[in-house]
Structure formats: structure tokens, C-alpha cells
Amino acid sequence: MIYGYARVSTKGQAKDGNSLEAQEKALTAAGATQIYKDAFTGTKKERPELSKLLAVVKKGDKIVVTKLDRIARSAIQGMEMIDDLLSKGVSVHILNMGELNNTPSGKLIRNIFLAFAEFERDMIVDRTQEGKAVAKANAQAKGERFIEGRPEKFDAMQIENALNLLETHSYAQVVKLTGISKSTLIRAKKRKESGE
């Protein structure tokens, strides 16, 4: 039997043909009759649908994935998984690489591509860390507080004005006047009181 496996890092991912729908279409075109799908980052080892797939495959079956990084992002994890599958007589077909097997040239190609997948993931992590460091330095240079993640909806002056209003108004009144949520005001007030 030919099984397909598709994975996205988040349910909304649809970049570079990596959406679940795009992967499913390619896997079906490659002959997959049953497709398992996960929405978990590739760095996580436990992926429920992949675990189900690995539990049902048997000798003579084939697993098809669109790209190597869909099934594994770490060279060690990928090598272990693919070697285990091949030793059980299960072939692995990666659509943008070809079919992996136990021949010396097949092993060499597998090792090279797995190393590149891990290198690419490490480079993404490095670029993300560098971007955060630059954003933090820029925020500090402007005298602003750096908060990782989504940019804040309100600037420091708006928050400060809202906190000043809290001295004479209720939370409900300040929320109505400023549009700043009660939870944001409570967090800002705690930060101010703790001297952050």
C-alpha cells in the first residue's frame, strides 16, 4: 500500500506549496491512497498522525512525502526514522528527491539531504535570533520596551495616559475612553508598580 504523509508547522501555513491541501494533492497524484496529516513543527518528535502511520506500515508498503523537511527536520531523527523504515522493508519516496533505498549511493544521498535539511532549519533559527536581537537593539535605542512577538497595539504614551486615567476612573470607563483592554491595563499597571 502507498501511504502519504503531510505536515505543516501551523494550521494556517500555505507557503511555497507547503499547505496541507497542496501536499495532499501531490501525494494523491503520486499514488498515495491513504494520507496522514499533522500540524506540528518539524522539531517536535511526537506527531500523532505520523505515529499512527508508522504503526500501520508493513513490509512492501511505501511512504510518500512531498519534501524531506515534511517528515523530519533533524538529520539524526530523519536518519533513524528512514533507516528503521527501510530495515522493515518499507520504501520512502520523497517527491522532490526520489526514492530512498539501502544501496550505498542511496545512503549517501539520504545523508547529504538530511544534513542539508538540518542546516536549513538551523539557519532559520539563527536568522530569527538575529532579527530579534536587531529589533531589541532598535527598541532600546528609541527608549522603548522590546516585547517579543506581535507588535503592541498601543504605544507607551497611550498606555501611560490610560494608567493616569485609572487614578480617577474605573477600568470600564478607561477601556471605553481609550479602547485599551482591561487585561492590557492590568498588565501595564503591574509592570509600572514593579518598576519594569
Active site residues: 9
Beta sheet of 34-39, edge-to-edge order: 34-39, 2-8, 62-65, 91-94, 98-100
Residues 139 and 146: beta-carbon distance below 8 Å: yes
- Pair 82, 92: CB distance under 8 Å: yes
How far apart (Å, rounded) are the C-alpha atoms in residues 154 and 185?
A: 11
CA distances from residue 136 to 126, 143, 177 in whole angstroms, order as listed: 15, 10, 31
Helix extents (H) in the chain: 20-29, 48-56, 68-71, 75-87, 104-141, 156-165, 171-178, 182-194
Which amino acid is located at 110 in the chain?
R
